[in-house]
Amino acid sequence: MWEYTDAVKDHFFNPRNAGVIEDADGVGEVGSLACGDALTLYIKVQDGIITDAKFKTFGCASAIASSSALTELIIGKTVEEAEKLTNKDIANYLGGLPREKMHCSVMGQEALEQAIKNMRGEAGPKAEHSHEGNLVCECFGIFDEEILRAIKENDLQTVEDVTNFTKAGGGCGKCVDEIARLLRQARGETSCPAPCKAPAFPAEGMTNIQRMHLIESVMDQDIRPILQADGGNIQLIDIEKKQVTVKFTGMCSSCPSSKATLENLVEAKLREKVDPDIKVILED
């Protein structure tokens, strides 16, 4: 689904500096296994210069590649030079990241900041939120100040941008309105410029991740039980914008009425409960 650069693939398949520094001068732990991404960064510093860096990462290809790139970027730099590193520098070093995966580069920047704080004795290794802000995204534990910082540093314009860079709003979607409010706040707008209207269809205004979750939910609750009642089933193969690719299994795979089932049940339900422009493709 994601288009990765050759540099991302290289750092993913051949990660540099993976491992642990037992006598590290600074350690930064960010993310959590429960949220799907976690990174621990170790740095060794001598005379103000980062002489070694290693990492342990749990996450996707982008998370591992970003961690690997981060270590190459900071080894040999002074601590002051490393402090100026941004998530954009990490992404640029890799030739770019899919916009939906930019949060991996943000995680690298946060791990570096935490490791430097730890080295200076200002904080423990694990990033702990100050709780001075308000929790916005309960699914991923993202606070308003983190979102506002990401908006400012990356010139984010939409809720989907915020989800791509912070993961906020990528779960249940309850915080989407609050993220939109933070976007307006960051732009200096104090109130909604026009009365908010109800969405024209269920998925209108949703991020890609939210649309994927909604499609999966409709498949599980409204489509699959009907097919299973006749000994069949359905497998979700891919989602590309408004095109959904599926595969029938069980009795449905050889049913002479599969084309009608595809159009009158699968496509009709997804159009009704997700987006009226959805097109469903059947994989052989």
**Known binding positions:** 35, 60, 104, 137, 139, 172, 175
Catalytic residue list contains 104: yes
**Residues at the annotated binding site for Fe cation?**
35, 60, 104
Helix (H) or strand (E) holding 259: helix 258-261
CA distances from 37 to 64, 66, 76, 208 (A): 10, 12, 27, 19
Listing DSSP states for 113-172 in one string gives HHHHHHHTTSS-SB----S-S-EEETTTTEEHHHHHHHHHHHT--SHHHHHHHH-TTSSS
196 carries an active-site annotation: no
Strand 37-46 relative to strand 26-32, pairing: antiparallel
Indicate which residue of 35, 192, 196, 255 is catalytic.
35
Residue closest to 255 by CA, chosen among 271, 222, 233, 224: 233
Q: Which of 232, 214, 229, 207 is nearest to 269 (CA)?
A: 214
Contact 106, 166 (CB under 8 A): yes
Cβ-Cβ contacts under 8 Å for 150 (sequence gap 6 or more): 106, 156, 162, 165, 166
Catalytic residue positions?
35, 104
